[in-house]
Structure 1
Amino acid sequence: MKHYLVIATRRPDFDPAVVAPHLAYLDELHARGLLGSAGGFADGTSGAYVLQGVASLAEAQAIVDADPLALAGNSDLAVHEWKLADRSGR
């Protein structure tokens, strides 16, 4: 199964009002089985989430493009295919 790491970096003009719709969107992704985990960075500048069960980078990008953070232009969102290490640490 492929995983995609999404890093959301707040822009200087970040509007906190978009946080609630963003969290609701993440809840929707979780309900659909597409969200592995998510959270904000301790310094408050960024956050990340992991998409799972997504067939391609293009599909992951489409999901990210529908995130309220992206729609509002409050954050820069970068999507990367993420190769998880196996149990031996490789």
Structure 2
Amino acid sequence: MNLYLVMVMRRPQFDAAVVPAHQRFLDALRAQGQVERSGPFGDQSGGAYLLHAADLAQARAIALRDPAHVSGGWDVTVYEWQAR
């Protein structure tokens, strides 16, 4: 499994009501061993999570199921991260 950094940045049309669904999504991925860490940025502009996936295509497919993306309230970007 490779490691991917998923950045979720709030758009002006951000709806705070989506946050609990986003958190449940991350909790489910964490329970499956796919999310290592997650959390919001201190300035409340968005957040990030570390995702384990087989490849970039799978990581993007997972991130695009995130309610943060589906709601249209966040920009979601996935980076392959070669952290040590």
Counting only pairs closer than 5 Å after superposition, residues 8-47 of structure 1 correspond to structure 2 as: 8-47=8-47
Fraction of identical pairs, as percent: 45
Aligned partner of 1:74 in structure 2 is 73
**Shift of residue 13 of structure 1?**
1.0
**Shift of residue 46 of structure 1?**
1.2
Listed one character per residue, the Cα deviations across residues 45-67 of structure 1 (whole Å, up to 9, x for unaligned) are 01000002x10000000000100
Q: TM-score, normalised by structure 2?
A: 0.97
Aligned partner of 1:3 in structure 2 is 3
Q: Which structure 2 residue ranges, 5 or more long, are not aligned?
A: none
Q: TM-score, normalised by structure 1?
A: 0.91
Q: Which amino acid aligns with 2:3?
A: H
CA distance in 1, matches of 2:68, 2:46: 11
Listed one character per residue, the Cα deviations across residues 53-87 of structure 1 (whole Å, up to 9, x for unaligned) are x10000000000100011110100000000112xx
| 1:20 alignment partner, SS class | helix
Larger radius of gyration: 1
Number of equivalenced pairs: 84
Q: Which amino acid aligns with 2:33?
A: G
**Shift of residue 2 of structure 1?**
1.1
CA distance in 2, matches of 1:70, 1:40: 15
Q: Which structure 1 residue ranges, 5 or more long, are not aligned?
A: 86-90
